[in-house]
Structure 1
Amino acid sequence: MRDIPVHQLKERASTGLEVWRYSPDDPEDDVVMDAHRDDHYIFFVIENGTASLMIDFQEVFFPPQTLYYVLPGQVHHRIYNEMAGGWFIAVDTMLVPPDCRKVFEGKLEIQQPHTLSDVKMDQCRLLLNLLHQRFVEDDGAPFNLPVLHSLLQSFIGIAAGCFTCAESPTIQVSRPIEIAQQFKKTLVDNICTVKSPSAYADILRVSESYLNESLKKVTGMSVSYWILNEVMLEAKRLLYYSQLNVKEVAHRLGYDDHAYFSRIFKKSEGITPLSFRAAYRK
């Protein structure tokens, strides 16, 4: 395949979720180790030991008793859990409540693992054991699916609560934070066609100066910085994980002039697109 593979949950599960426990003794699966995207959420709960995950060119480390999630569309490998035991939960986006999605998708940078208290760890362990029990049962049993989804909603609620508390103890969201979150969602959806700060301001129905002020206040960086960052991130994903040539990558990102795309890539990253591909494919 020329593009980054996209794993679809519906091809593996008819219930909208998948849950299983892993341990250091589990054999590695070389297929899922390959870089890919998912069309669904993935949650990890590390009970003991340590693990790591390469996600969008950043390696994230998990100490014991941590909770983490991967958003739909983020490029990642299989979790490296040779020294860890814990849980893997894949969830169809439609099963994640809107309020919880707002928490998970409101990050402007790669999300960080959340350390679970002993109480929260015990709650997750008990809940996931019960969820797994129901998951492996016959899905045709009376009321099994609604029970399964109810248990899942409880876990997602706990997870969203953990990340909400970690990010905003006061629970109140300021207008600049709200604007920044809306901008991030809009940016991800439109990066291949919209690259002008003023255009994003128009979409969000705010002035360009207020949008820029909000982004700087919340993230320390300007609108232009985040637009270029998203373009470069997607460019690096395509250059490293796909077989598209530079011209095709440029076209995929909305640039008719691939030479211009190469120039801005080199200015931003310090190397040409081909040099980047060669360096990361050693």
Structure 2
Amino acid sequence: MKKNIPVYDIKYFSAYKNNGILVSRFGTYAQQHTHLHTAHRHSFYHLVFFTKGQGKHQIDFDTFNVSPNLIYFMVPGQVHSWNFTSEPDGYIINFSASYFSSLLLQPDYLSKFSFFSGNAQQQVLHLDEKASSKAIDIFEAILKEGENQQLWNDDLVKTLLLTLFIQIDRTADAAKHLPKNNYNDTILRNFQQLIEQNYAKLKLPKQYAALLYITPNHLNALCNEFLGISAGKLIRNRIILEAKRLLVNLDLRVAEVAFKLNFEDQSYFVKFFKKYEGLTPDKFRKQYISDPYGTK
């Protein structure tokens, strides 16, 4: 029987230089932690930039091809795995949720970047040669700082990381995902944050609209115009994602998953899941365990 998906904390890994961050060349990291090729979760932020290698990687049950000049980002709690068909290399950075707290006054600063949205489709990016070259320079500078004992070293690493995030966000053209209008941008970001905090309790757009002090019609119009998805579907997608994350934990019965997501009973949860996924929770669980990458 396949084991439940483990959750790894930043303390599990050898420190790069200071507590709360690990930086490494990816080839070395992948060889040292071969068990991480199978599905697992992180309690920290995680990013990888590939300079070589082929295969597949999966974030929250969405599968992507591995190729040079690809970079992906992950937020705490996401389910992830790799399956390489040729030897990979590149760079990996893991950092704790509190790593930037001493430098940034805004606790939600990282959520401004589209690739830290928690939406897998926004978290995987192919960089052109110019952007890749800039990213490599920053990764190398961060690795070099790992050997440096000079004053302000850790703050410089944090600054280099933020520089990388800003450059990647510009390259990714975040305007495709969120509007440039500050008011609309704020409304949609707040909506997404509220979903993250309340998806198990609040399941209707009108409940979120009330918290945002706008009408349900206005909220739905903003979502359709700028995100290409209705407000209701955005909420449902988050509920289904969490259901999948829970279902791959074999210690939990379907009834317990339904309870954790505040469904009235198991039958209602099963109908809900099947309506939007096309298969029952039990079928999904068995299918994922036998063929996580959907190759059969």
Same fold (TM over 0.5): yes
Could you tell me which amino acid in structure 1 is paired with residue 112 of structure 2?
K
Asked if structure 1 preserves the Cα contact closer than 8 Å seen for 2:246 and 2:257, the reply is: yes
Distance 2:155 2:64 in 1: 29
Give the one of 133, 137, 154 matched to 2:144.
133
Matches within 5 A, 1:33-72: 33-72=37-76
Distance 1:231 1:2, change over 3 A: farther
RMSD over equivalenced CA pairs, Å: 3.0
1:211 is displaced (CA, Å) by 0.8
The percentage of aligned residue pairs carrying the same residue is 26
Shift of 1:112: 4.5
Structure 2: runs of 5 or more not aligned: 291-296
Q: Is the 8 A contact 1:108 1:181 kept in 2?
A: no
For 1:69, the aligned partner's letter is: F
Task: Give matches, 1:151-230, under 5 Å.
Answer: 151-168=157-174, 173-174=180-181, 175-230=183-238
CA contact (8 A) 2:50 2:71 kept: yes
Seen in structure 2, the aligned counterparts of structure 1 residues 75 and 54 have a Cα distance that, compared at 3 Å, is: same
Mark the CA change 1:185 to 1:4 in structure 2 (over 3 Å): closer, same or farther. Answer: farther
Q: How many residues align?
A: 277
Structure number with greater CO (CA < 8 Å, separation at least 6) is: 1
1:116-139 Cα deviation digits (max 9, x unpaired): 3444333332332232233256xx
1:101 and 2:111 matched? yes
Question: Secondary structure of 2:187's partner?
Answer: helix
Change (3 A) 1:147 1:160: same
Offset of 1:78 from its aligned partner? 4.2
* Kept in 1: contact 2:25–2:89 (CA 8 A): yes
Cα distance in 2 for partners of 1:202, 1:36 equals 36
Distance 1:48 1:208 in 2: 47
Q: Deviations over 1:203-246 (max 9, x none)?
A: 22222111111111122221111111111111112112442101
- The farther-off stretch of 191-200 and 18-27 is 18-27
Is 1:259–2:260 an aligned residue pair?
Answer: no
Question: Structure 1: where are the runs of 5+ without partners?
Answer: none
Normalised by the length of structure 2, the TM-score is: 0.81
